[in-house]
Every structure is written in structure tokens, then in C-alpha cells.
């Protein structure tokens, strides 16, 4: 019996602090700095980078072709018509912006909760957020039909003297998404300034010294500056937290405020936010697992990070499951004829297959297997699972938009929806654009926040005696 009482966690605990290890032992300030700056400052770009960059570039080119044709011909090249006027554009918009949410959750909410493990992954998770918002924000604009009039959504003093309608959730969306994009960029850039200063000081060529020097705005690490910087970071985290919750809430209002069966429900805001974080963490894993392997960052992005992301997915996955369950329950409990029909049609109607894809990818596979630590520590499994979950989350939006719109109150307005090749090209094109932008980020900016990693190293600990005297 005695042998069974040995704690299997003993290897994972740092003897110096008695806390769980987040990064591998034996790291130094200089070692970490060199490891991370070398990825960017080396003149040798790995061949694999070019290969994936080529794939992303091809996707981005395909997007450009699809957009040029769209601007020439109009939105008729897509499958949207009556009754499905939203189609792929809005599915992709909601999907992309949801993916972005995990980046803000990691950088803001986990900072407020003092989760030290976020430090290794927050920079590229924030980059993921920004690029996902870039992909997302494109869709409502190109869906406009006359995208050159997109500026009409802003309250501008135009000669027509026509002003926006403030009671519409679509108008709220404009402000939620634009604020989200701005604050994400500001938070990301502010967090990067000390690291850009490190890059400036370690750059060898004149050009990179100039560029990183300009970007670092003359940061020199004064402790007065650090004190203000820490305050500003904390405040931005505190502001980004209600922001990220509000963004997907407002997006869910686009649906919930409509009277359509299957949309008109109060569960949508929390269910959308949880789904967003669920898919976002899946995307973090899709990026983190290859990155740590190709760039040999296993000591900084450890199995513990992947494990924790898996746990967050498990928790948010169950909230999503609750959302699905509540939709089914309300369809029965409301005793509303149309509501019940919509639910039945979702699961067993002509588009029923998409509902079961969603149930399989979002609930059946992840929520049964993520309990196992062995599987959470299996990188290949987690990578595949992250793709599965993101597929499932895409189908969730497909189900919400398409099945509700194809079966309206009046059978005479029923229809169907088959996406055209331009829909698929635009969708996969934005995936390409995302990869393209992300690889540029990995090549030219420090993808792991060095200054935050330094605070976690043993050398950063100040002896309690010194700290106590300093408090006087």
C-alpha cells in the first residue's frame, strides 16, 4: 500500500517553491532571451517556414481572387438568397471572431487570476486574436453588397444627413468589433515594447536595429517605467475582460433579438461566449503544438500548458453542452410549435447531418476523451482534437444560421442552401490569410514574451529578507 501513496505529481513540483512547474528547470535570463531572439534575428529562415508560408500565401491569393470576382459580380456569386441571406459570410464571421476570444482570455483574464502559466503562450495567442479579427471583420464588409459604402455604419456627418439606427444590434456590433480590434492591437503592442527593446539591443544588422529601435519607442527598462507599465497592463487586462465577454454577447444579440425560431433565446449570450472560448483554445492548441515542436520550445511551452488548455476546453465544452441541452429543453418546455419544429428540423430535417457532425465534434469526441491526462499529454491527439473541435464549432454556426433561415414561419418561404465554390474559396482563403499573417509574426516578432518569462525564472526571486527591508 505504501508505494501507492507516492504522489505522481512529485516530478512536476518545483522543490524551491513547492509550486507546480510551469516551464522546465535550468533556464537562465540570457538563455531564454537568446533562444527566443534567435528565432527572429537569425538570417536563416527554416525551409519548413517557407513551405507553410507558401501554403498560407496560396490561400491568401485564392481569397484575393474570390474577392476580386465578388467585387466585379456582386454577392450573387455566393449561395446567399432568400431565405438564407446570411450564409457563409456570417458563419465565418462568427467563427473567426470566436477563435480570437481565447487570445484575450489568456492575455487578460488569466493575468487577472495570476495564472503564471499564461506567460509562455499569451503573445502568440494575442497575435492569433488579431489575425482572427482581421479575417472576421472582413466578412460583414464584403457581405454588404456595396462594400464601398461600408463607412455608412459609422455616425459621420455626411451630406445626406442620414444617421445610424442605434436600436439595432448590427449597429452595436460595429462598435463591439472595432473596439475589440483596437484594444487587442494596443494590448499586444504594449506588451511587446520591452521585448522589442531586447530585440533592438540584440539585433546585429543596421536595418533591424532601426526597425526594432523605432518599434521599441526607446524603452530602457527604468523601474519607474515598469511600474506604470505594470499598472497599464493590469488596467488593460481589466478592461479587456468585460470587453471580450461583451463582444460575443453583442454578436449573439444579432441572432437573439430576431424573432426567428432557434435564434430568439436568452441562452445565446453565455452560450456564444463559451463556444468562442472553446474554439479559441482549440486554435491555440493548433498553433502551439506545431510551434513548440518546430522551434524546439518544449522547455517554455511545456506539456503543462497543453494540459491546462485541455482542461479549459473541457470546462467550456460542458458550458456549450449545457447550451445545446437548454435549446432542446426549451424547444419542448416552451410548448411553442415553431420552436419545437425548428429543433426537430435541426436534428432530423434535410440538414440534420450537420447537427450530428456538430454533436460528434463538439461533444462526443472531446468531452469524453479530455478527461484523460494521458490523452491531454499526447501532443498528436491534442492537435487532431483541436482541428476536430474547430470543425465542430464551424458547424455550430452553420446549424444556427442555415437551419433556422431555411425553415421560417411560413412554409411558402422555406428554402435550402448549397454553398458555391466562391463561398468555399472565400472561407479557405481566410484560413490561408490567417496562416500567412501568423507566419510573418513568427518570423519577425518575438513570439514568447521574454520579459514575462524572466519573472518566472529562479533568478528573479528576491530573497525574502531583501524584499522585507525594501518594504520599509
Partner 1 sequence: MPPREGTYGLLAEFDTPGDLIRAARQARQDGWRRLDCYSPYPLEEAAEAIGFHRNKVPLITLIGGLMGGLAMFSLETWISTLAFPINVAGRPTYSWTAFIVPAYEWTILWAGLSAAWGMLALCGLPELYHPLFNAPNFRDGATTDKFFLCLEALDPKFDLLQSKAYLEGFQPVSVVEVEY
Residues of this chain that interact with partner 1 (CB under 8 A) are 28-30, 33, 155, 161-167, 169, 171-172, 175-176, 178-179, 182-183, 186-187, 190, 194, 197-198, 200-202, 213-214, 217-232, 235-236, 239-240, 242-243, 246, 250, 451-452, 454-455, 459-460, 462-463, 466-467, 469-471
Residue 356, CB-side half-sphere exposure with 13 Å CA sphere: 9
Q: How far is the CB of 177 from partner 1 (least distance, A)?
A: 9
Q: Which among 325, 312, 321 is positioned nearest to 393, based on CA atoms?
A: 321
Q: How far is the CB of 161 from partner 1 (least distance, A)?
A: 7
Q: How far is the CB of 378 from partner 1 (least distance, A)?
A: 34
Q: How far is the CB of 25 from partner 1 (least distance, A)?
A: 17
Q: How far is the CB of 86 from partner 1 (least distance, A)?
A: 21
CB neighbours of residue 183 within 10 Å: 18
> CA of 453: how far to CAs of 32, 120, 173, in Å?
8, 7, 36
Do 80 and 86 touch, CB atoms closer than 8 A?
A: yes
Q: How far is the CB of 187 from partner 1 (least distance, A)?
A: 7
Do 257 and 241 touch, CB atoms closer than 8 A?
A: no
Q: Which is nearer to partner 1, 84 or 245 (CB)?
A: 245
Q: How far is the CB of 455 from partner 1 (least distance, A)?
A: 5
Packed helices 87-104 and 223-256: angle between N→C axes, nearest 10 degrees = 150
Do 202 and 41 touch, CB atoms closer than 8 A?
A: yes
- Alpha-carbon distance of 456 to 304, in angstroms, equals 15
Q: Which is nearer to partner 1, 171 or 367 (CB)?
A: 171
If you write DSSP's letter for every residue of 56-75 in order, what string do you get? HHHHHHHHHHHHHHHHHH-G
Q: Which is nearer to partner 1, 28 or 334 (CB)?
A: 28
- Alpha-carbon distance of 204 to 34, in angstroms, equals 13
Q: Which is nearer to partner 1, 73 or 228 (CB)?
A: 228
Task: Read off the DSSP letter of residue 462.
Answer: P
Q: How far is the CB of 203 from partner 1 (least distance, A)?
A: 11
- Alpha-carbon distance of 18 to 9, in angstroms, equals 11
- Alpha-carbon distance of 208 to 198, in angstroms, equals 12
Coil/strand/helix, residue 190:
helix
Q: Which is nearer to partner 1, 29 or 353 (CB)?
A: 29
Q: Which is nearer to partner 1, 240 or 300 (CB)?
A: 240
Q: Which is nearer to partner 1, 85 or 158 (CB)?
A: 158
Q: Which is nearer to partner 1, 63 or 216 (CB)?
A: 216
Q: How far is the CB of 247 from partner 1 (least distance, A)?
A: 9
- Alpha-carbon distance of 282 to 382, in angstroms, equals 9
Q: Which is nearer to partner 1, 83 or 269 (CB)?
A: 269
- Alpha-carbon distance of 358 to 360, in angstroms, equals 5
Coil/strand/helix, residue 84:
coil
Amino acid at each position: 500500500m505504501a508505494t501507492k501513496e507516492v504522489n505522481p505529481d512529485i516530478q512536476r513540483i518545483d522543490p524551491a517553491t513547492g509550486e507546480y512547474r510551469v516551464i522546465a528547470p535550468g533556464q537562465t535570463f540570457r538563455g531564454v532571451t537568446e533562444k527566443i531572439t534567435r528565432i527572429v534575428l537569425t538570417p536563416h529562415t527554416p525551409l519548413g517556414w517557407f513551405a507553410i508560408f507558401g501554403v498560407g500565401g496560396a490561400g491568401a491569393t485564392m481569397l484575393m481572387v474570390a474577392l476580386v470576382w465578388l467585387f466585379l459580380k456582386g454577392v450573387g456569386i455566393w449561395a446567399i438568397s432568400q431565405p438564407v441571406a446570411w450564409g457563409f459570410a456570417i458563419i465565418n464571421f462568427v467563427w473567426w471572431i470566436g477563435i480570437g476570444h481565447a487570445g484575450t482570455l489568456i492575455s487578460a483574464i488569466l493575468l487577472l487570476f495570476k495564472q503564471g502559466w499564461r506567460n509562455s503562450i499569451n503573445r502568440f495567442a494575442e497575435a492569433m486574436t488579431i489575425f482572427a479579427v482581421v479575417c472576421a471583420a472582413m466578412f460583414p464588409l464584403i457581405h454588404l453588397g456595396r462594400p464601398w459604402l461600408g463607412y455608412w455604419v459609422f455616425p459621420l456627418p455626411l451630406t445626406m444627413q442620414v444617421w445610424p439606427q442605434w436600436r439595432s444590434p448590427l449597429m452595436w456590433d460595429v462598435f463591439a468589433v472595432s473596439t475589440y480590434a483596437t484594444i487587442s492591437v494596443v494590448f499586444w503592442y504594449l506588451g511587446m515594447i520591452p521585448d522589442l527593446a531586447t530585440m533592438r539591443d540584440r539585433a546585429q544588422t543596421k536595418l533591424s536595429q532601426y526597425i526594432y529601435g523605432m518599434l521599441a519607442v526607446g524603452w530602457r527598462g527604468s523601474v519607474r517605467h515598469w511600474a506604470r507599465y505594470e499598472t497599464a497592463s493590469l488596467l488593460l487586462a481589466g478592461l479587456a475582460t468585460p470587453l471580450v465577454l461583451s463582444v460575443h454577447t453583442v454578436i449573439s444579440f444579432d441572432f437573439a433579438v430576431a424573432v426567428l425560431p432557434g435564434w430568439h433565446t436568452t441562452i445565446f449570450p453565455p452560450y456564444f461566449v463559451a463556444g468562442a472560448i472553446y474554439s479559441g483554445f482549440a486554435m491555440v492548441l493548433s498553433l502551439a503544438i506545431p510551434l513548440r515542436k518546430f522551434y524546439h520550445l518544449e522547455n517554455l511551452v511545456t506539456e503543462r500548458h497543453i494540459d491546462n488548455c485541455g482542461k479549459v476546453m473541457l470546462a467550456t465544452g460542458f458550458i456549450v453542452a449545457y447550451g445545446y441541452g437548454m435549446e432542446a429543453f426549451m424547444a419542448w418546455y416552451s410548448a411553442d410549435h415553431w420552436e419545437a419544429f425548428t429543433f426537430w428540423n435541426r436534428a432530423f430535417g434535410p440538414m440534420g447531418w450537420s447537427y450530428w457532425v456538430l454533436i460528434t465534434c463538439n461533444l462526443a469526441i472531446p468531452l469524453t476523451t479530455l478527461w484523460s491526462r494521458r490523452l491531454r499529454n499526447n501532443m498528436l491527439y491534442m492537435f487532431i482534437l483541436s482541428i476536430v473541435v474547430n470543425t465542430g464549432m464551424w458547424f455550430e454556426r452553420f446549424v444556427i444560421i442555415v437551419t433556422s433561415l431555411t425553415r421560417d414561419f411560413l412554409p411558402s418561404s422555406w428554402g435550402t442552401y448549397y454553398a458555391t465554390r466562391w463561398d468555399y474559396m472565400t472561407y479557405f482563403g481566410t484560413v490561408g490569410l490567417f496562416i500567412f499573417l501568423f507566419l510573418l509574426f513568427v518570423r519577425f516578432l518575438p513570439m514568447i514574451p521574454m520579459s514575462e518569462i524572466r519573472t518566472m525564472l529562479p533568478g528573479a526571486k528576491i530573497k525574502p529578507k531583501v524584499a522585507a527591508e525594501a518594504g520599509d
